[in-house]
Amino acid sequence: MSDVRANAFLITEKPGKLMCKYAIPCIISLLVAALYNIVDQIFIANAAYLGSYGNAANTVVFPLTVVALAIAVMIGDGACAFVSISLGAHREDDVHKSIGSAVIACIASGVALSAIYLIFMNPILALFGGTVNAETFHHAREYFLWIAPGVPFYMFGQAMNPIIRSDGSPRFAMVTTVLGAVVNVILDPLFIYGFHWGMMGAAVATVLGQVLTAALAAWYLCHMKAVRLSRESFHIYPQLMKRYIPLGVCSFLAQVSLVVAMAAINNMIRKYGALDPVFGQAQYTQIPMAVVGIVMKFFQIVISISIGLAAGCIPIVGYNIGAKRPDRVKTLFGLLLSSETIVGFAALLIVELMPNQLIAVFGAANESAYYTQFAVKAFRIYLCMMPLATVNKGTFIFLQAMGKAVESTALSMVREVVFGVGFALLLPRFFGLYGVLYSMPVSDALTFIISAALILRTRASLERSGFTGKSAVEML
C-alpha cells in the first residue's frame, strides 16, 4: 500500500522551489558518486610509486565501472520515473511492485556482472587500452581485481538512489552517497600512503564506501514514506518491468555509449600516441591516456551537476504529468535549460582560464613537462563546447522524465555512438593524436542542433496540452 498524498506537494509548491529541493541533493549525490573514482585518481597520481602509470590504469578501469552504473541507472531511473507517474495517477499497486521488482533485478544483474568481470578480466582490460604498456596493465589488473567484487553493492546503492528520491526523500538519498564517499576519502590515503597497498588500497577503500551506501539504501527500503513494501513486492513482474525499463533505457544508453566512446578513444590514443614523435617514446607512452582520463574526470564532475539538475526534476515532472499539469512541466523545463546553460559557461571559464591549476591536482609536479603541456591543450580543446554539452544532457533526461523514451533514447544514441564514437575514430586519421581531442566539441555542437529542434517541439506540445486540457502523455 502507498499513501499518494505524501507527495501531493509536487503539484502545489512553486516549480523553482521544488527544483531546488530535489535537484540540489541529487547533484550532491552524483558529485559524490563521481568523486569515488576521481579521489582514487588524485591519491594515485600523487603517490610517487604509482604516478602516471597508476593514472593510466585508473583510466582503463573507469569505463568498466560505468557499465555497472549504466545497468543500475536503467533500473533505478526507470523505476523512479514510473513510480512518480504512478503516484501522481494514484496507481498504488504499481508503485510497490515496481520498486520490489527493481530491487530483485538490480541484485541479480550486479552479481552476474561481477562474475563476468572476474572470469574475463584480462581480455576486458585489453579491450579498453590496458596494453598500452606492461606497467599500466599490471596496475589496471590489480585495481580491477578488487573493484569487481564490489560491483553488486555499487549497483544497488546507485539504483536505489533515484527510487528513494521518488519517495520524497532527496536528502536521505544524498546522505547515503555522501557517507560512502567520506569513508573512501578517509581510507584512500591510509591504504595508499600509510599501508603502501597501491592500487589495491585505492580499490578496497572504494568498495568499503560502496558497501556502506548500499546498506543505508537497504535500511531506507524498510522505512519508506509514500510506499509500503511487503513480501508481495519482491517478485519479478514482467508486465511492470516492460513499462518502467524503457523509461530508464535513455540513462542506460547514455552511460553504455559513453563506455563505447571511451573504448574507441582509449584505443585511438594508444594507436596514434605510438605514432607521435614525443609520446611514441617508451617513457612517455602512458601520458596521453592518463591525461585524457583526467580531463574526462573533470567533465564527469560538470556533467554530474548537469545530470543532477535534470534527474532531480524526474519525480516532479512525472507526478505533474500523472496529475495532468503540463503548465508546471513547461515552467520547469525553462528553469532547467537556463540552469544547464549557466553550469556549462561556468565550467568553460574554468577549463580555459585555469588548466594548469586543474592538472596540478593530479600530480603534474611529479611528471615531465610534456605531461603538463598536453594536459593544458586537452582541457582547452576537449571541453570547449561545455555549455552545449550540459544543455544536451539536460534535454535527454527531461524528455525521459516526460515518458518520451523514443526521442530521449534516439538523441542520446546519436550523441554518444554516431557522433561520439564516429568522430573519435574518424578525426585522428586527419589530425593524429589531437583528432581525439577534437571529437568531443564537434559531437556536442552537432547534437545541439538536434536538441534545439526537440526543445522547441516539446515546449509547443506542452502548450497545446495546456490549452486542450489533455495530459502531456496523451499529447506527446
For residue 31, what is its C-alpha cell? 558529485
Give the pLDDT confidence score for residue 466 in this predicted structure.
58
Taking Cα atoms as reference points, which of 332, 379, 329 lies closest to residue 352? Answer: 379
The interaxial angle of helices 369-382 and 434-468, nearest 10 deg, is 30
Burial class (CB within 10 angstroms; exposed 0-12, middle 13-18, buried 19+) of 160: buried
Burial 83-120 (b: 16+ CB within 10 A, else e): bbbbbbbebbebbbbbbbbbbbbbbebbeebbeebeee
Grouping H, G, I as helix, E, B as strand and the rest as coil, residue 270 is helix
Integer angstrom CA distances of residue 268 from 11, 65, 314, 446: 49, 21, 36, 22
- Are the beta carbons of 340 and 390 closer than 8 angstroms? yes
Give the pLDDT confidence score for residue 472 in this predicted structure.
40
Helix ranges restricted to H, 190-273: 198-221, 238-273
The interaxial angle of helices 15-45 and 198-221, nearest 10 deg, is 150
Give the pLDDT confidence score for residue 387 in this predicted structure.
96
Give the pLDDT confidence score for residue 335 in this predicted structure.
93
Give the pLDDT confidence score for residue 5 in this predicted structure.
55
The interaxial angle of helices 287-311 and 369-382, nearest 10 deg, is 30
Give the pLDDT confidence score for residue 374 in this predicted structure.
92
Give the pLDDT confidence score for residue 468 in this predicted structure.
43
Give the pLDDT confidence score for residue 475 in this predicted structure.
35
For residue 86, what is its C-alpha cell? 504512478
Give the pLDDT confidence score for residue 179 in this predicted structure.
92
**C-alpha span between 427 and 425 (Å, rounded):** 6
Give the pLDDT confidence score for residue 6 in this predicted structure.
58
Give the pLDDT confidence score for residue 365 in this predicted structure.
65
Give the pLDDT confidence score for residue 363 in this predicted structure.
66
Q: Which amino acid, 278? A: V
Low-confidence ranges of the chain (pLDDT < 70): 1-7, 36-37, 254, 363-366, 465-476
Give the pLDDT confidence score for residue 21 in this predicted structure.
86
Handedness of CA 211, 213, 214, 218 (dihedral sign): positive
